[in-house]
Amino acid sequence: MNKKLVPLLGIVAVVIVAVLFMVKTGSKSSPTSQTSSYDTIFPLPSSVQTFTKTSDEAVNFQTTLSVKDSESFYRTELTKMGLKERTINTAVTETTFSMVFDGYKNGKAVVVQGVDISGKTNINIRFEQI
């Protein structure tokens, strides 16, 4: 598969998961909560809504941060954790972003993807063997 298509396919998957989740829950969002109440090792912004832990290695949620601010948040926070961005896999548009970070102790990459959905940013973070 063309390596340039991988981030695009990931973004499409994030959009599908977000839409399915919103349809399944029957609501567009839930009240904002403190990030300390979520069971995840991944950093979360202060505005988290419709949080779903899909496995021990993946979470999905919406935030009121813009796509650009979400991208900046994850670049900063994951770098603070000692991870290094694999810039060859970074893809950014006005309404989406996809980033891969290496260096987590489990040997897997951390993949972060965001997409604008109706004025909120849907974020998917997961470990992946890339």
- pLDDT the model gives residue 32: 31
- pLDDT the model gives residue 35: 45
- pLDDT the model gives residue 99: 98
- pLDDT the model gives residue 121: 98
27-76 pLDDT per residue, tens: 333 333 334 689 999 999 999 999 999 988 999 999 999 999 999 999 99
CATH no. for residue 110? 3.30.310
- pLDDT the model gives residue 10: 59
Q: Per-residue pLDDT for 1 more than 50?
A: yes
How many structural domains are present in the chain? 1
Residue numbers of the domain that contains 38: 5-128
pTM for the predicted model, two decimal places: 0.74
Q: Per-residue pLDDT for 6 more than 60?
A: no
75-128 pLDDT per residue, tens: 999 999 999 999 999 999 999 999 999 999 999 999 999 999 999 999 999 999
SS (H, E, C) the chain: CCCCHHHHHHHHHHHHHHHHHHHHHCCCCCCCECHHHCCCCCCCCCCEEEEEEEECCEEEEEECCCHHHHHHHHHHHHHHCCCEECHHHCEECCCEEEEEEECCCCCCEEEEEEEEECCEEEEEEEEECC
Q: Per-residue pLDDT for 3 more than 60?
A: no
